[in-house]
Amino acid sequence: MTRVTAQGLTVERGGRAILSDVSCTLEAGTFVALVGANGAGKSTLLSALAGLLKPDRGEVTLDGVPLSRIERRELARRRAYLPQNPRAEWPISVERLVALGLTPQLPAFGGLPGGFEPRLTQAIEACDLTGQRLQPATTLSGGELARAMLARALVGDPEILIADEPITGLDPRHAIDTVQRLQALAAAGKLVIAAVHDLTLAARTATHLMALRQGKLAAFGPMADVLTPDLLRTVFDVEAQVTGTGRDTAVDFHQPVV
């Protein structure tokens, strides 16, 4: 059972605390939506949880072992991380781009061993990219690229997926598509943590909500318990309304709080 625990995470930059004293325990089978205003520390928290940023104080543990003590390839096999607006730097084919997700599984030399071919095809099919398989990644549309990057993250079958704003910039259909994939992953027993700005989509698909305000953890818990107008008001400084429950939830923002 995968369990990621953060204890007293504090990250300071230029004398200012970007994250201060964040503690939480995240478990397999949940889809945690991370929300917060711009600059609240969402990306920093995700980087720290992914083990890509060493906190100034506190630590993150995976099944009780500090991330800093897990060998980097081992960690790479167990958790996948997608940064904000990932892009391909060379016009490599979608197939090769997705295969890069297997990097921590591969030996130092040589091409893709034959045994990995089915996994590659499966990831490409699962993300609806069969038609683009041989297309250069630099010519993909925004939605296709986002799917290709998701396939890249999933091809190694990680236990944990950490994604920084995976639906920002996607049209409604692709956004819904993406969150439903994340939801399905959580349902299949993975731990999914994603920063999102679309609260309605998050409320309908995520199991848990984590809210950051000025680097501090404002709330964390099951979606139904935590998502309230009061919380949104504190976190975003905007009057908000939450209607419906479960798959019918809708979040509306009104006036900024003066």
Partner 1 sequence: MTGRRASWIAGLILAAAVLASLFLGRVVVSPMDLIHGLMSPDLSLASLVVTELRLPRAVLAVLVGASLGLSGAVLQGLLRNPLAEPGLLGVGNGAALGAVISIYFGLSQAFPLATPLMGLVGAVGAGLLTFVFGRGGTLTMILAGSAVSGITLAILALALNFAPNPYAGYEMNIWLLGSLSEKSWDHILLAAPFIVAGLGVLATMGRTMDALSLGEVQARSLGIDLDRMRVLALLGVGLAVGAATSVTGSIGFIGLVAPHLVRPFVGHQPSRTLLPSALLGGALLLAADIITRLINTQSELRLGVVTALIGAPFFFWLVLRLRKTAP
- Give me 205's structure tokens: 């698909």
Within residues 192-221, the interface with partner 1 by CB under 8 A covers none
Which is nearer to partner 1, 136 or 229 (by Cβ)? 136
Which is nearer to partner 1, 81 or 236 (by Cβ)? 81
Report the nearest approach of partner 1 to the CB of residue 92 (Å).
5
Within residues 65-124, the interface with partner 1 by CB under 8 A covers 72-77, 79-83, 86-93, 96-97, 100-101, 103-104, 106, 108-109, 111
**Nearest partner of 231 among 33, 47, 28, 45, judged by Cα:** 33
Q: How many positions of this chain bind partner 1 (CB under 8 A)?
A: 33
Element (H, E) at 73: helix 72-78
Report the nearest approach of partner 1 to the CB of residue 245 (Å).
36
- Give me 66's structure tokens: 């500090």
Report the nearest approach of partner 1 to the CB of residue 164 (Å).
9
Which is nearer to partner 1, 29 or 136 (by Cβ)? 136
State how far the alpha carbon of 78 is from the alpha carbons of 2, 87, 90, 115, 159, in Å. 10, 22, 26, 19, 5
Establish if 248 lies at the interface with partner 1 (CB under 8 A).
Answer: no
For residues 220 and 195, give the distance between their C-alpha atoms in angstroms, rounded to a whole number.
Answer: 13
> What count of other Cβ atoms lies within 10 Å of the Cβ of residue 7?
16
Report the nearest approach of partner 1 to the CB of residue 172 (Å).
25
> What count of other Cβ atoms lies within 10 Å of the Cβ of residue 170?
19
Q: If phi over 0 gives left and psi between -120 and 50 gives alpha, with beta otherwise, what is residue 248?
A: alpha
Sole binder of partner 1 in the list 152, 174, 208, 213 (CB under 8 A): 152
Q: If phi over 0 gives left and psi between -120 and 50 gives alpha, with beta otherwise, what is residue 213?
A: beta
Compose the 13-52 pattern: x for residues touching partner 1 by CB under 8 A, - for all others: -------------------------------------x-x
Which is nearer to partner 1, 71 or 248 (by Cβ)? 71
Beta-bridge mates of residue 81: 162
Report the nearest approach of partner 1 to the CB of residue 221 (Å).
28
Q: Contact positions toward partner 1, by CB under 8 A?
A: 50, 52, 72-77, 79-83, 86-93, 96-97, 100-101, 103-104, 106, 108-109, 111, 136, 152
